[in-house]
Amino acid sequence: MCGLFGVIRPGGVLKADDDVLAKLGAQLLHRGPDGSGYIRDGQALLGMHRLSIMDPAHGWQPFWSEDQRWGVLGNGEIYNASSLREHLKVKGHTFATRSDIEVVPHMMEEFGNDTFIRLRGMFALVIIDRRNDNILLVRDRMGEKPLCLFSDGETILLSSEQSSFVRAGVAPLTLDNDQLPRYLLHGFTPEPDSLIKGVRKVPAAHFITIGLADGDISETRYWDPLDEVGNRPLSNPDIALAIENAVVATCTSDVPVGIALSGGLDSSLVAAIASKTRTDLSAFTIGYSTRSPDESSLAQGLAAHLGIECHTSILDTEKIARDFAGVCAARDEPISDIAGPALSALPQAARAAGVPVLLTGIGGDELFWGYDWTRQLAVWTSNYLENRMQGRNVRRPRFSPIPRVRQAQVDWITAVGGLIQDSQMRAFMSQNVREGLAPLPFYEFQPGYRSVSRAVKDLVGLPKKPQTAEFFGRADPAWVGAFYTIASNETYLRVNSLVQVDRLAMTYSIESRTPLADADLTTTILSGRLSNRDQFLPPKSRLREIAREYLPAEIVNRPKRGFTPPVREWIRAIWQANRDALSGEAIISNTTLNPEYVQSWMSSPTDHSGRINQIALRLLTLELWLRSLE
DSSP string, 129-166: ETTTTEEEEEE-SS--S--EEEE-SS-EEEES-THHHH
What's the CA gap between 449 and 451, in Å, rounded? 6
Distances (CA, A) of 71 to 61, 90, 344, 621: 9, 22, 34, 39
Q: Does residue 345 register a pLDDT over 90? A: yes
pLDDT attached to residue 416: 46
pLDDT attached to residue 54: 81
pLDDT attached to residue 297: 87
HSE (side-chain half, CA atoms, 13 Å) at 524: 19
3-class secondary structure, 62? coil
Torsion angle of C-alpha atoms 69, 74, 79, 80, degrees rounded to 10: 0
**Sequence-separated (6 or more) residues with CB below 8 Å from residue 541:** 369, 534
What's the CA gap between 348 and 287, in Å, rounded? 14
- 294-308: average pLDDT: 90
Q: Domains, the chain, ranges and CATH?
A: 2-223 (3.60.20.10), 224-450+470-565 (3.40.50.620), 567-629 (no CATH)
**Sequence-separated (6 or more) residues with CB below 8 Å from residue 406:** none
Q: Does residue 195 register a pLDDT over 80? A: yes
% residues pLDDT > 90 (the chain): 81
DSSP secondary structure string for all residues of 231-298: -----HHHHHHHHHHHHHHHT--SS-EEEE--SSHHHHHHHHHHHHH-TT-EEEEEEESSSS---HHH
What's the CA gap between 93 and 103, in Å, rounded? 10
% residues pLDDT > 70 (the chain): 93
Q: Does residue 300 register a pLDDT over 60? A: yes
Q: Report which of residues 465 and 4 the model is more confident about.
A: 4
**Sequence-separated (6 or more) residues with CB below 8 Å from residue 480:** 378, 381, 382, 385, 440, 473, 535
pLDDT attached to residue 451: 87
Q: Report which of residues 492 and 295 the model is more confident about.
A: 492
Q: Does residue 29 register a pLDDT over 90? A: yes
3-class secondary structure, 91? coil
pLDDT attached to residue 435: 82
Confidence of residue 53 (pLDDT cuts 50, 70, 90): confident
| Contact by Cβ (8 Å): 81, 100 | yes
Provide the 8-state DSSP code for 566. -
3-class secondary structure, 516? helix
Task: Give the angle subtended at the CA of 89 by the CAs of 84 and 91, to the nearest 5°.
Answer: 100
Confidence of residue 490 (pLDDT cuts 50, 70, 90): very high
**Sequence-separated (6 or more) residues with CB below 8 Å from residue 14:** none
Q: Express each pLDDT in 569-607 by its tens digit.
A: 999 999 999 999 999 999 999 999 999 999 999 999 988
What's the CA gap between 254 and 53, in Å, rounded? 6
pLDDT attached to residue 200: 97
Q: Is 544 left (phi over 0), alpha (psi -120 to 50) or beta?
A: alpha
Dihedral of alpha carbons 51, 54, 58, 59, sign: negative
Q: Does residue 378 register a pLDDT over 80? A: yes
Least confident range of 44-48, 202-206, 381-385: 381-385
Confidence of residue 399 (pLDDT cuts 50, 70, 90): low
Q: Express each pLDDT in 359-371 by its tens digit.
A: 999 999 999 999 9
Ordered strands of the 2-8 beta sheet: 35-40, 44-50, 2-8, 156-159, 148-151, 199-201
Provide the 8-state DSSP code for 620. H
